[in-house]
Amino acid sequence: MDIRWFREMRVHTRSRSAVILFGVFMSHLALAQQPCANGIRIDGAITDPAGAVIPGAQVQSTSGQKAVTDESGRFVLGCLPVTSATITAMAAGFAEGTLQVHARPGETAQVNLQLTIASTRTDVQVNAGTTNVDSDNSAGSTTLTADEVQRLPDDPDDLLRQLQLLASAAGGDPSSAVVTVDGFQNTSALPPKSSIASVRINPDLFSAQYQWPPFGGGVIEIITKPGAYSLHGALFFTVSNGVFNATDPFSATATPAGKQRYGFELSGPIVRQKSGFTLALEKRDIDEFNVVNATAFDAAGAPASLQQTVTAPQRLWIASARADWQAMPADIATLSYSANVNSLGNQGVGGLVLADAGYSSLASEYDLRFTNTYTPNANLLHETRIGYSWKRTGETPNSTAPALQVAGFFTGGGAAGQNLNDRERDLEVDDDGMLTHGRHTFKFGAQSLGYFVHNYDPDTFNGAYVFGGGSAPALDAQNHSTGQTTTITGLEQYRRALRNLPGGTPTTYQVTTGTPLVPFQQWQLGIYANDSVKLSPQLTMDAGFRYQIQTAPDSFANFAPRMGFAWALNKKQTWIIHLRGGFFPRAAADLSAVSQVYRLNGTRQQSTIIYAPDYNDPLTPTSGSIQVNTVNQFPRSFSQMSTFLGYLNVEHEFPQHWHAKINFFSGEDWRSLRILNINAPMVASSIGSAPNPSAALLAPRPIAPNENILQYQNSGHLAGNLISFNLDQHDYKHLGLSFRYAHQNFKANVVDTGLNSPQSTYSTQGETARVEWSRNNYYSLTGNLILPLKVELDTQFDAGDGPHYSITTGTDNNGDGNFNDRPAYASAPRPGVYSTRFGLLTNNTVDGDVPRDIGIMPGPIHLNLNLTRAFILNPADKDRPRTVTFNARSANILNHTNVTAVNTVLASSSIGQPIAAETARRIEVGVRFSF
């Protein structure tokens, strides 16, 4: 019995159960068997040479019965009226395979049929799958086999970005996509690409076994390769030379970036037919550059453009090892270990951030995982998973000087994080099960995950100055006060501070003291049950329920019912309608938010903000300085975030296997995280007059004087919808493609990046706006083409509207401690009024009326190409082919400037102008030897 059949069946069902429920269901085994007294039942899977499953394969028996493998590569031929049969399987890109099956009357034969790669053609599909009422057809659902994964970018970061873009088809922020490996729910770094057998992107997330809602970012499930029956391996090397790469669009000098990536993979048996192993190791060296595009002072003390090109070396090691053991015919054990160590230099540098404000970082993750899968028959599956992870993030600043921010112009001084050293240990224990009985498929399970955190976080222990500009004495040509008042920028304010001139007082100086070490624990537990019942050949119903709890902060009343239907409009099932709906509870406060609250609780660490301090001696009180302490806290009652989501899908299979889908999502989040200063000064909103920071700070507060109480509340809300259209072709001999268009419309009162706080505690004006990650329109096209001489061309293209951004004043107008105040609209030009493409705007306001996220960055355009040609060195040996593959890959071949940041401070006079971008065009070539 093939251990890979059990492994693929385990991974792709992802079915789960609690240990205690397993014993209860064992008593129903007899009822669960499919009656077939005078014949046999065949239950099996179709896999490729690497052991990865093949969805959409056509299977037929000699007695005429047919089946199509589902997304997990599994098929069932029910009650063949024989005791011996031959089954035939066919799939695009693979040679036809046959298998003799023998069994006694009444028995179920469990088989695995492995297909070989066709010698006359190469499969060019990207999103394979047939229309089927039982298929997993969530929006953007994609299954990639090992061969398809090889067509994706080789660089781990580029590969992750490509998978995140695919995951965002469900409507979420690509950077928030959850990556899991081999069924473990704990998020993971990507394993070596050479160790990946298949990838499932956005499976049926409406199943109760998942806690993540689709527009939470999507799910990327990585399945690693099991051990092979015979020895196989590969060596690979890629190189990218600066001669072929383009210069950063904001760099005044050449940036000859270079890259090398090399490694190996090895797989084979330990004990033949009983156990196997897989090893993979790769190293990546990148010599990249970060480009500073800021404004500071020249040698004469005049404002001038400042451009710096700073080296940013990156060194990455990733490795994995896995062993599979078939202790008994129905019992499979797997032990795996993976490591990911990434060293980065001059991080945080670029845009407005100068080189001295950067830092070097070392991030590492090690995962040790054990899985046991028990499959006593074709109707019952039980799996236990235990995983332990070590994670560490360390940062070393380029400078220990106080941090210095001149709003809208540059950020210098030392990095605020200083010598950060965050350590995390994760323990995961899951128990899962699946039981089939008649028309029912039951899935049930328990998922537990514990986080043990020890963070050494001396944030702003070095102090931090902010120059935000504002009202100041007017100066004459000799820098003497004229007795008048004017509005100055943060850069002019900083110039005056350097020369000890009137109006040269910093806006604030912030410093934190106390104990850097922040230890805490958090536990998450989810229990679920799901039933999928085939009411008729053309109608399937799914019903599920999930219960989720969390500690630190505690949250227990989190219930999540879900339901769905799949209806085939005709017998051939070429028209399918899916209707799904359900609730999704999830942690509102992630580990970083919990750490922040425990760190700045006023006891472990004390954070102090001094307004209008002396620049040379900020801790010595002056006549105009005001000191405010800051405390972070959770409220007494804290709940998990809840999401309701409805989903409608209509799909049709056209002739020649053109497959079209229209997907519509509609839903909302509530109780999401929002940070509110519940003790902010009670300052009235105003427009047209210059704000008075001192008066604002001296205004009455509702709880205590001179203290900011930042409370992490469940007051956030998001609502919106997504409509998308997908068109796929996966049947042509030399061409395959997948096209997608999506339109998003999500609005929220929460900020997606940076400080998740409203501009005012007492005004909600302009807070509900489009979310930053939402793109109004998005297009993608993925395809490949077989060229003459067996050269294969693969393309990935995507384009769309850019993310949104907010315009800020650069200072704290209302005295609440948050530098996220927005300007107001002005009716006529006057001092302090700026003409922008959004109209006339002014910083002379408290709680401005300009909405959040009003700006839109330039839209990104990515076109990546890959040319591949494989040469078989020993064509006579079809069982042990030796292959040399050459490839040339380009990223951003159009050399389009894909903007990542713009200037958002109104007084900078360059509002909305790009200041940073993704890397320019990169080209690399590589060779791979496989045996």
Residue pLDDT, tens place only, 810-848: 999 999 999 999 999 999 988 888 999 999 999 999 999
Segment 46-67 mean pLDDT: 72
Segment 320-327 mean pLDDT: 90
Residue type, 100: Q
Q: Collapsing DSSP states into helix, strand and coil, what is residue 132?
A: coil
- Cis amide prior to 553 (ω within 30 degrees): yes
Asked if 740 contacts 768 with a C-beta cutoff of 8 angstroms, the reply is no
Q: Which tokens belong to 901?
A: 């940041």
* Contacting residues for 846 by C-beta, under 8 A, at least 6 apart: 683, 684, 685, 686, 691, 696, 813, 814, 821
Give the C-alpha distances (Å, rounded to integers) separating 466 from 114, 503, 524, 605: 64, 14, 39, 21
Q: Is the dihedral of CA 696, 698, 703, 706 positive or negative?
A: positive
Q: What is the pLDDT of residue 127?
A: 32
Q: What is the pLDDT of residue 275?
A: 87
Provide the pLDDT confidence category of residue 103 given band limits of 50, 70 and 90.
low
Percentage of the chain modeled with pLDDT above 70: 90
* Alpha carbon 573 to its chain's center: 34
Is pLDDT of 213 > 50? yes
Asked if 859 contacts 897 with a C-beta cutoff of 8 angstroms, the reply is no
Give the separation between CA 277 and CA 226, rounded to whole angstroms: 7
Residue pLDDT, tens place only, 396-434: 999 999 999 999 999 999 999 999 999 999 999 999 998
* Contacting residues for 30 by C-beta, under 8 A, at least 6 apart: none
Q: What is the pLDDT of residue 83?
A: 61
Lowest mean pLDDT among 118-122, 390-394, 536-540, 885-889: 118-122
Provide the pLDDT confidence category of residue 92 given band limits of 50, 70 and 90.
low
Q: What is the pLDDT of residue 25?
A: 33
Residue pLDDT, tens place only, 254-307: 888 999 999 999 999 998 778 889 999 999 999 999 999 999 998 888 999 999
Is pLDDT of 562 > 60? yes
**Model-level pTM greater than 0.85?**
no
Give the separation between CA 764 and CA 577, rounded to whole angstroms: 41
Residue pLDDT, tens place only, 592-620: 999 999 999 999 999 999 999 999 999 99
Q: Is the dihedral of CA 612, 616, 618, 621 positive or negative?
A: negative
Torsion of the alpha carbons at 53, 57, 60 and 66, rounded to the nearest 10: 110
In 31-151, DSSP assigns E strands to 40-47, 58-61, 66-68, 74-80, 84-90, 97-102, 108-114, 142-145
Q: Is residue 190 classed exposed, middle or buried when 0-12, 13-18 and 19+ CB atoms within 10 A define those classes?
A: buried
Q: Which tokens belong to 399?
A: 């400078």
* Phi-psi label, residue 467: left if phi above 0, alpha if psi -120 to 50, beta otherwise: beta
Lowest mean pLDDT among 175-179, 491-495, 858-862: 175-179
Q: 292 or 102, which is more confident?
A: 292
Is pLDDT of 516 > 90? yes
Q: What is the pLDDT of residue 81?
A: 66
Segment 676-683 mean pLDDT: 96
Is pLDDT of 64 > 70? no
Q: What is the pLDDT of residue 72?
A: 65
Give the separation between CA 397 and CA 414, rounded to whole angstroms: 7
Q: What is the pLDDT of residue 39?
A: 66
Q: What is the pLDDT of residue 84?
A: 63
Is pLDDT of 12 > 80? no
Is pLDDT of 203 > 50? yes
Cα 799–803–807 angle (5° rounding)? 150
Neighbours of 400 (CB within 10 A): 12
Give the separation between CA 528 and CA 560, rounded to whole angstroms: 9
Is pLDDT of 729 > 70? yes
Segment 708-731 mean pLDDT: 91
Asked if 833 contacts 823 with a C-beta cutoff of 8 angstroms, the reply is no
* 3-state SS track over 339-383: EEEEEEEEECCEECECHHHCEEEEEEEEEEEEEEEEEEECCEEEE
Is pLDDT of 35 > 50? no
Provide the pLDDT confidence category of residue 105 given band limits of 50, 70 and 90.
low
What rounded mean pLDDT belongs to the chain?
Answer: 86
Residue type, 440: H
Distance between terminal CA atoms of the chain?
Answer: 25
Is pLDDT of 26 > 70? no
Residue whose C-alpha is closest to residue 534's, from 207, 206, 141, 132: 132
Cα 95–99–105 angle (5° rounding)? 155
Q: What is the pLDDT of residue 3?
A: 35
Provide the pLDDT confidence category of residue 576 given band limits of 50, 70 and 90.
very high
Alpha helices in 91-168 (DSSP H): 146-150, 156-167
Q: What is the pLDDT of residue 508?
A: 96
Lowest mean pLDDT among 31-40, 452-461, 500-509: 31-40
Asked if 74 contacts 45 with a C-beta cutoff of 8 angstroms, the reply is yes
Residue whose C-alpha is closest to residue 295's, from 407, 413, 416: 407
Strand 219-224 relative to strand 914-917, pairing? unpaired
